[in-house]
Copies of this chain bind each other. A is one copy, B any other.
Amino acid sequence: MGQAILVVEDDREISGLVSALLVREGFSARVAENGAAMDRLLAESPADLILLDLMLPGEDGLSICRRLRADGAIPIIMVTAKSDDIDRIIGLEVGADDYVAKPFNPRELVARIRAVLRRTAPAAAPATASSRRVRFEDFVFDIDAHRLFRGTEEIALSTGDYDLLAVFIERPMRVLTRDQLMDLTKGRSWEAFDRSIDVALSRLRRKIEADPTKPALIKTVRNAGYMFATTVRKD
């Protein structure tokens, strides 16, 4: 779903709050408690942005920042507890993309993350971002443009249809629980008697299944959830 943010922070309470905030805002968040843990997580999968605390056990935030700058071009936002430190960090020219002082306004933090991602995005991809497309069965799904085609016919998708399909496309051949679907599409968690996912699914099936009474694309997995049961080819 969202872009991957890596939070490097040794205070569990703060990292918990921040990662919850980020997930709520549509990012995916991982936490590392020190430089070594960060390296391990980056080896597993890359991050789109790193939120880096200054004070850390072991290797210092400044050192980590310099190191990251040296090899990759991952955007970095430095976080520091004492606002007096900020001018020092900036002065040191470690090359972070932005700087935030604790305690920070959550919405400001999110806004600064978005601003940095926006600013650095054109550098990575060409400014005229081409749209991502995938194929499955005889469909072509233009993810960025929110458009779905079967053959040459366009199938109109509501925002709800799109959210659901986009989630499935990214996770084919895997059972997704109602809780996961709820979280990934609406950003809120699923409560016991909530049927909105089922109804949304029924509506999506009506548009994309050849025979909605015998679903072939989106299978029901009883007592578990739903699964996008076809292969997805990147274009």
Contacts and interface: CB of A to CB of B under 8 A. Distances in A.
Interface of A: 83-84, 86-91, 93, 98-99, 105, 107-112, 114-115, 118, 127-131, 144-147, 154, 156, 158-160, 172-173, 214, 216, 219-224, 227, 229-234
Contacts of A110: 87
A214 B153 CA distance: 13
Given A87-B109, A91-B114, 18 more contacts: A86-B105, A86-B111, A87-B105, A87-B107, A88-B111, A90-B115, A91-B111, A98-B98, A128-B172, A129-B172, A131-B173, A131-B229, A131-B231, A144-B229, A145-B219, A159-B220, A159-B223, A160-B222
Q: Which 8 residue pairs of A and B lie closest in terms of their CB atoms, listed nearest first?
A: A90-B111, A87-B111, A87-B107, A145-B229, A159-B222, A87-B108, A144-B173, A86-B108
B173 A145 contact: yes
Nearest to A221: B159
Nearest to A106: B87
12 contacts: A84-B105, A87-B105, A89-B111, A90-B112, A90-B115, A128-B234, A131-B173, A131-B229, A144-B173, A146-B221, A147-B229, A159-B224
